[in-house]
Amino acid sequence: MTDMPTSDESRSNPPRTVRPPSTPVERRAASIQMQNRRKMVFRSTLLLALTAVALCFFVAWRRDQMTIAERLDSLSGIVQKLQAEVDQIGRLPATPPQPHGEGLGYYASDADRYYVTQTTDPVIIGATASTHLIYGEEGRVAIIYTRGRIEAKWMPVSKYDKTWAEQQERIAQFERERQARPVILP
């Protein structure tokens, strides 16, 4: 067992007091030591602040990625059911497979569904409402039909709007050409 100081011994050794530097060398050494401590505090504070900012950016970026993945997952059931119906009957159904088109803000019209049967180009047949992201551009999930295959794809609003406008122009041109042909009676 080690010898522990008794309470009387600990009282007899008062704490050591720090005396102020008396010589120029001691004052210089104390000054350098104080500067080093201040630098260390500044560096630690700066490192903590930068790490906190980087962590906030990472968390917000990750939130955007999780939002996109959640929106894609929310339509996976609709996409699978649509694909099953297309495989079974060979064309798009008139209504989306879920009641009231849950999750969809838009579903293909009659003209869109007919155009899909006549083209090999990708066609947007459904889309969600736009979703706000913290860092990325606002976007939406589009359901795209390409040669009998249906997929859900995240699209920024600017790309979606451009693709949608081009698709509407192609459908309008297709309808003009279709209506310009003479009717063929059996």
Digit-coded pLDDT (tens) for 27-80: 788 888 889 999 999 999 999 999 999 999 999 999 999 999 999 998 888 899
Token pair 């609709």: residue? 78
Cβ–Cβ under 8 Å, residues 146 and 161: no
pTM: 0.71
Model confidence over 117-160: pLDDT tens digits?
A: 888 899 999 999 999 999 888 999 999 999 889 999 999 999 99
State how far the alpha carbon of 85 is from the alpha carbons of 48, 61, 78, 81, 102, in Å: 56, 37, 11, 6, 17
Please state whether 130 falls in left (phi above 0), alpha (psi between -120 and 50) or beta.
beta
Which residue, 119, 172, 166, 110, is CA-closest to 142? 166
